[in-house]
């Protein structure tokens, strides 16, 4: 009886420990693009900037970019629903720009010029 109780408690802890890790993975995977050879841009900001408009303008500057960039997501750090995602990504400096494909994070930067260089290397 004691063995069974111990095994049940151990099983419970193993199951809950496994769930904790996947939650972080799910938050990160939600940032990925939906298909091969396409990307998403994610902007995490603390104070309103013009970066979102600059990124959108850049994305719309060529047909090649429009084909490979699925979209731009903007996250305000002060919104509670964004804070867990920011914590999962270990972001502590803002603004931060992430570029993701359908498998992982390809670029993390604070500089829009690095984003442009990243995509220029892909389309050229």
- The domain ranges of the chain are 31-123
The yes-or-no verdict on residue 52 having pLDDT over 90 is yes
The yes-or-no verdict on residue 22 having pLDDT over 60 is no
- Give the tens place of pLDDT for each residue, 3-20: 665 555 555 555 555 554
Select from 10, 7, 17, 30 the least CA-distant residue to 89.
30
At 94, list the tokens: 């803002």
CATH 3.40.640.10 assigned to domain 31-123? The reply is no
- Give the tens place of pLDDT for each residue, 54-110: 999 999 999 999 999 999 999 999 999 899 899 999 999 999 999 999 999 999 999
Select from 97, 108, 114 the least CA-distant residue to 51.
97
Residue 58's CB is within 10 A of a number of other CB atoms, namely 18
Q: Which is higher by pLDDT, 124 or 57?
A: 57
- The bridge status of strand 105-109 relative to strand 39-45 is unpaired
| Residue 49, CA distances (Å) to 55, 72, 96 in order | 11, 14, 12
Q: Mean of the pLDDT values across residues 43-58?
A: 93
């Amino acid at each position: 009886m004691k063995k069974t109780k111990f095994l049940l408690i151990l099983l419970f802890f193993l199951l809950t420990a496994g769930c904790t890790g996947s939650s972080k993975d799910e938050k990160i995977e939600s940032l990925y693009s939906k298909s091969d050879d396409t990307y998403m841009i994610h902007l995490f900001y603390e104070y309103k900037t013009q970066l979102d408009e600059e990124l959108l303008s850049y994305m719309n500057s060529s047909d090649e970019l429009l084909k490979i960039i699925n979209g731009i997501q903007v996250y305000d750090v002060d919104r509670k629903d964004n804070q867990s995602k920011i914590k999962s990504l270990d972001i502590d400096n803002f603004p931060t720009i992430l570029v993701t494909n359908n498998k992982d994070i390809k670029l993390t930067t604070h500089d829009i010029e690095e984003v442009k260089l990243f995509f220029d290397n892909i389309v050229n």
